Structure 1
Amino acid sequence: MGEMIKFSIIVPVFNRQSSIGKCIESIQNQDYSNYECILIDDGSTDHSLQICKKYAENDKRFLVLHKENGGVSSARNMALDRVHGIWLCFVDSDDTIKPNHLSSLLKRDKDGVDIVFCGYQDTYIDKVITHSYNDIVYIGKNSIRDFLRDTDVLWHMIPWDRMFRADIIKKNHIRFNEKLSISEDRLFCYNYLVHTRGIATISDVTYVHDSTDSNSLSHRSVPIDMQKNRYRLMAKATKKIIAVFNMNKKDSVMLHSYNEGLLILMQKTTDCWWIVLTIIGCDAFGIVKLITKQILHRVLLRKEYP
């Protein structure tokens, strides 16, 4: 019997002929080789599918799937039904990972954790912003609660700067919501988080995220009905996190206020403003945090949460 696959890497692809080759090569250049990579072409109209097939022809670790266009969530979900690895990683098709990405995450393989965070770089047109952690392990609900409270991780719930246990995703049938085009990443991570017994962070900065694309779905205005649905789903997921990790009333207000702050930002932000924010490298989540603090201040002044 062959060695069990350690990592499954999921890469959704849509019209990324200019970047997908570089992305795939960064995966092939890993200094750890026991992985499978699933490339899901989401109905590309350029040469992305052909490029993926060309790389896969010469590397049996790569599997190429093709589907009609349905969005990044449907592409990821299709791949989730095909994974064989113990751990699961996501990589966006316009991003790259450094050669030690998998091996660095694997340092925490035996620490009894269910999710491991790595540092990452946000690359803009004229600058690079680095986000990093210390090497720490958090075991148990109280320790995890302190981690969530003391870091910005709940503000940046993205799937690609971490590794997940595939069995938790399979057992609890955790999937990306295909009816959302914003906050689907955050909702997925929240739904996974409530099943987590331990969290680890590593100091290595191994993921490189391209933040220059103003055409990304996350940078588009969203219909109000979808905003309301997103808000309802996030409120439900937030309540679960508060209950599972025994968060106090102040934490509860902060988390719920974040969702309200994000809703306000989406209502007031147009395609044009997202493009401007991207070009100047503005941290939109920083704006949300400012709105959240203002909401929290008003609530505490009303003494609804003594």
Structure 2
Amino acid sequence: MKSKVSIIMPIFNAEKYLKRSIESVLNQRNIAYELILINDGSTDCSKSICSEYSRKYESIIYLEKQNTGVSDTRNKGIEQASGEYLYFLDADDFIDPNYLSDLLQGSEKYDLIIGNYMVAYDSKKQVLYENQTIDISFDELREKILDGDNSISGFLNNKLFKKKYISNNIFFNTNIHISEDTLFILEYLERINSFRIVNTDSYQVYCINDSSATMGDLTDRSLSSLYANKELLKLSKTKKEEKIIYCRIAKASIQLLNKAIKADNKNIINISCESLNRVDFKNLSLKYMKSHYFLALLFIKLQKDMYIYIYKQMKLRDKNL
């Protein structure tokens, strides 16, 4: 049977959660699918787990590659996929048994389908995002995806994409490692004609742990958050979208600065501060950026060295507690 949905799962050192994620796919009901596991140069037991499942189930395709990052890994999955729809699932996330069939029920004429999701933290805290607003325009959809802090989100995890609009047209930017999904979705919206937002009893669980790209320590790839938002700015169509993206730039720069202070990386401290110096308050809005970011930005602009000193002392105190 031809697969209706190709589920693309990039994997890097995911042995702790991988079986749970794969099993959640195998438990999908009433849908023809293929699961494409792409091992991005893992050094843990991920390879043996993938090999075991691929030998056991015909619906699983297993690929191995050198470590090049999640964007390139997803691109490899797109090349391999044969389904009408694409679904991207991270190796530490999982889905309800009816999730994919619920998304597709009555939705097959649509080019993008958006469902519910839950965010689960290592701390055991869980936040469910349900789609209460279903009838919105393309412009409103773009704004919600850019804003991100809502049931639509700028993540891939609660969306089904039609492959015909992606093949040979859209790829994940391999130079971007944070917010690459939002950029991909915005480019996808440029090519489609319809979308549907559904509210069902099933949902995808997006797990945030210490190894998540946006939660971890400073790495060589951390700067890509600034680059991603600059690319998003090029795709903006309205003043409102620009305002949302400038808020994203301010937040990303502050988060990057805090990580750089913690790591005592003077080069990235300077890059972050330069980015923040270019932010104009008139381009920002409390609707899209929480007040503590505004206060941090004001403090940095007025007393950069004092901000760096205080933040460093706070982190030293937390470390010694």
Q: TM-score range by the shorter chain?
A: 0.7 to 0.9
Aligned equivalents of 1:17 and 1:236: distance in 2? 33
Q: Is the 8 A contact 1:96 1:207 kept in 2?
A: yes
How far does residue 176 in structure 1 lie from its aligned partner after superposition?
1.5
Q: Which residue identity does 1:254 align to in structure 2? A: I
**Which of 225, 230, 248 does residue 258 from structure 1 map onto?**
248
Q: Which residue identity does 2:245 align to in structure 1? A: L
Does the residue aligned with 1:81 lie in a helix, a strand or coil? helix
Mapping 1:1-306, distance limit 5 Å: 3-110=1-108, 112-124=109-121, 125-134=123-132, 136=134, 138=136, 143-149=137-143, 151=144, 154-155=147-148, 156-172=153-169, 174-204=170-200, 205-211=202-208, 213-222=209-218, 227=223, 230-242=225-237, 247=238, 249-270=239-260, 289-290=289-290, 294=294
Name structure 2 gaps, 5 residues minimum. Answer: 264-285, 299-321
Change in CA separation of 1:234 and 1:108 when aligned onto 2, cut-off 3 Å: farther
Aligned length, in residue pairs: 268
Q: Is the 8 A contact 2:115 2:159 kept in 1?
A: yes
Aligned equivalents of 1:250 and 1:74: distance in 2? 31
Q: Larger C-alpha radius of gyration, 1 or 2?
A: 2
Q: Is the 8 A contact 1:194 1:240 kept in 2?
A: no
Does the residue aligned with 2:34 lie in a helix, a strand or coil? strand
How far does residue 254 in structure 1 lie from its aligned partner after superposition?
2.7
How far does residue 269 in structure 1 lie from its aligned partner after superposition?
3.2
How far does residue 8 in structure 1 lie from its aligned partner after superposition?
0.4
Q: Is the 8 A contact 2:38 2:64 kept in 1?
A: yes
Change in CA separation of 1:226 and 1:31 when aligned onto 2, cut-off 3 Å: closer
Does the residue aligned with 1:289 lie in a helix, a strand or coil? coil
Q: Is the 8 A contact 1:86 1:165 kept in 2?
A: yes
Change in CA separation of 1:271 and 1:160 when aligned onto 2, cut-off 3 Å: farther
Q: Is the 8 A contact 2:37 2:60 kept in 1?
A: yes
How far does residue 103 in structure 1 lie from its aligned partner after superposition?
0.5
How far does residue 169 in structure 1 lie from its aligned partner after superposition?
0.8
Q: Is the 8 A contact 1:30 1:98 kept in 2?
A: yes
How far does residue 90 in structure 1 lie from its aligned partner after superposition?
0.7
Q: Is the 8 A contact 1:135 1:203 kept in 2?
A: no
How far does residue 75 in structure 1 lie from its aligned partner after superposition?
1.4
Change in CA separation of 1:250 and 1:71 when aligned onto 2, cut-off 3 Å: closer
Q: Is the 8 A contact 1:137 1:198 kept in 2?
A: no
Name the structure with the higher strand share: 1
Change in CA separation of 1:98 and 1:152 when aligned onto 2, cut-off 3 Å: same
If asked which structure has higher relative contact order (CA below 8 Å, sep 6+), I would say: 1
Identity %: 27
1:50-101 per-residue CA deviation (whole Å, 9 max, x = no partner) reads 1111111121110000111122122111111111111100111111110011
1:140-166 per-residue CA deviation (whole Å, 9 max, x = no partner) reads xxx2113344x4664231111111111
Q: Which residue identity does 1:219 align to in structure 2? A: M
What TM-score, normalized to structure 2?
0.74
